[in-house]
Amino acid sequence: MASTHDHPGELAATDPLRLLAIRDTPLSVDEVFAAVGDDAAGGTALFVGTVRDHDGGADVDGLGYSAHPSAEAELRRVAEKIAADYPVRALAAVHRVGELAIGDLAVVVAVSCPHRAEAFEACRRLIDDLKREVPIWKHQRYSDGTEDWVGV
């Protein structure tokens, strides 16, 4: 019997980390959802973060996201930890950088697992850990002319 080392494609096909990216182009919910499709998954949880028009009681006109060069590696580290801690069948996470307008998608993450409870838990932890540990910073511009860096 051949090992997976003899057929590298077999190992890649079983990797639950299906899509991990930091992009300066618009994000697609459909792409992320399709990436976590798995016949053995009974539950898929998806989270979409959008740019809102207010923060902390102030009106927001727009914002920009910046990422440290290590951000994609840190995103992979966070995703690997989620896949190790939960029965993840497939996982995807994409974050936008650059200038965004109100209503734009800033982040889309999804996790599929055998059951819904673990899919919800894994997805919640994925977005929380991503926001806390991946070096991506938000520069908000307010309607009163002020601005603020968040996450620095």
State pLDDT tens for residues 46-58.
999 999 999 988 9
Q: Please state the pTM of the whole predicted model.
A: 0.89
Q: Which two tokens stand for residue 60?
A: 């927001």
Which sign, positive or negative, has the C-alpha torsion 19, 6, 82, 44? positive
State pLDDT tens for residues 86-137.
999 999 999 999 999 999 999 999 999 999 999 999 999 999 999 999 999 9
**136: nearest Cα among 100, 98, 83, 110:** 98
